[in-house]
Amino acid sequence: MIPASRAGAHPIPPKQFRRRAFLASAFAFGARRLGIAAAEPPRTKLVLLGTGGGPRPRKASAASAQVIVIGNVAYVIDCGDGVARQLAYAGVPFTALRHVFITHQHSDHTADYGNLIWLAWTAGLSSRVDAWGPPPLERMTKLFFQMNAADINTRISNERRLALEPLVHVHEIRAGGVVMSDENLKVTAALVDHPPVVPAFGFRFDARDRSIVISGDTAPSDNVVKLARGADVLVHSVMYPPAIDRLVGRVSNAPALKESILAHQTSAEDAGRIAEAAGVRTLVLSHLVPADDPEITEEMWVEAAKRHFSGKVILGRDLLEV
């Protein structure tokens, strides 16, 4: 017969431990009621909002977006189609939106950039938002507000909302290096390899408890290896090369599209090599190209990435918390 503890049941702890646990939880409850701040700083949470590569809207997954949440501050990285809705599904309050980072000017990373900020504002966001990314982010932002002035002005006069445009501060990034830092984290950018989209960036987020790197879209890049050195989590964009012909076969511009994808994406196998060279603990495969080919199973993605990587591999899916 298997003893209860080995069969998976938890043995009942001795009486003194039960009493200690009761006192600890009673104290925590009392502290919460008195509003005493917990001694521990808030944990850094990463949620994959959209994990599909490419701008075509799909049933299977939203376009590129991630959010890092620390306490009540949200840092969104990339704004593909559906980012605001995905944030709602993830349960992140729109009023928490504080920083938006754009890796590069491609529609699967930018289509809902303006919409995210605009819709968050209709949901009660009334505090400063800083947006960081390559040019022409400033012009895009200005034109977005102009394009939607009818709605924005109506809501300001009719619903007595704060003006939206002064809340948004845009910072164009043209080179790698430290982008910003605040009380929660430091953000560093590195140029990645995404011809012909220049500049294109990967970002590293160093928080108190963990470090997270988002590669952006890139061919295998030494800069990503340097950026991700020793990081806890590397979210890398990946493709599955044998399936690219099937993917581009759906469109008339197949040869040019195939050439473009192969020039600026990284195979899952190479992402594993990069993760190993950087010495990261966990590799998350995201921005999957193709995003919805039923012939490529989870095992195939993970197996390819594990060929040259000894750490943990996670196949990204929408709303997964890492």
Contact positions vs Zn ion (CB under 5 A): 106, 217
Q: Which is nearer to Zn ion, 76 or 192 (CB)?
A: 192
Question: In the bound complex, what is the minimum distance in angstroms from residue 7's beta carbon to Zn ion?
Answer: 50
Q: Which is nearer to Zn ion, 63 or 152 (CB)?
A: 63
Question: In the bound complex, what is the minimum distance in angstroms from residue 80's beta carbon to Zn ion?
Answer: 10
Question: In the bound complex, what is the minimum distance in angstroms from residue 261's beta carbon to Zn ion?
Answer: 9
Q: Which is nearer to Zn ion, 217 or 232 (CB)?
A: 217
Question: In the bound complex, what is the minimum distance in angstroms from residue 54's beta carbon to Zn ion?
Answer: 9
Q: Which is nearer to Zn ion, 52 or 125 (CB)?
A: 52
Conformation bin of residue 36: beta by default, left when phi > 0, alpha when psi is -120 to 50:
beta
Q: Which is nearer to Zn ion, 105 or 188 (CB)?
A: 105
Neighbour-count burial of 288, counting CB atoms closer than 10 A to its CB (0-12 exposed, 13-18 middle, 19+ buried):
buried
Question: In the bound complex, what is the minimum distance in angstroms from residue 126's beta carbon to Zn ion?
Answer: 33
Question: In the bound complex, what is the minimum distance in angstroms from residue 253's beta carbon to Zn ion?
Answer: 16
Question: In the bound complex, what is the minimum distance in angstroms from residue 108's beta carbon to Zn ion?
Answer: 6
Question: In the bound complex, what is the minimum distance in angstroms from residue 4's beta carbon to Zn ion?
Answer: 54
Distances 287 to 26, 138, 148, 218 between C-alpha atoms, Å: 45, 25, 29, 11
Q: Which is nearer to Zn ion, 106 or 236 (CB)?
A: 106
Q: Which is nearer to Zn ion, 192 or 313 (CB)?
A: 192
Q: Which is nearer to Zn ion, 67 or 289 (CB)?
A: 289
DSSP collapsed to 3 states, the chain: CCCCCCCCCCCCCCHHHHHHHHHHHHHHHHHHHHCCCCCCCCCEEEEEEECECCCCCCCCCCCCEEEEEECCEEEEECCCCCHHHHHHHCCCCHHHEEEEECCCCCHHHHCCHHHHHHHHHHCCCCCCEEEEECCCHHHHHHHHHHHCHHHHHHHHHHHCCCCCHHHEEEEECCCCEEEEECCCEEEEEEECCCCCCCCCEEEEEEECCCEEEECCCCCCCHHHHHHCCCCCEEEEEEECHHHHHHHHCCCCCHHHHHHHHHHHCCEHHHHHHHHHHHCCCEEEEEEEECCCCCCCCHHHHHHHHHCCCCCEEEECCCCCEC
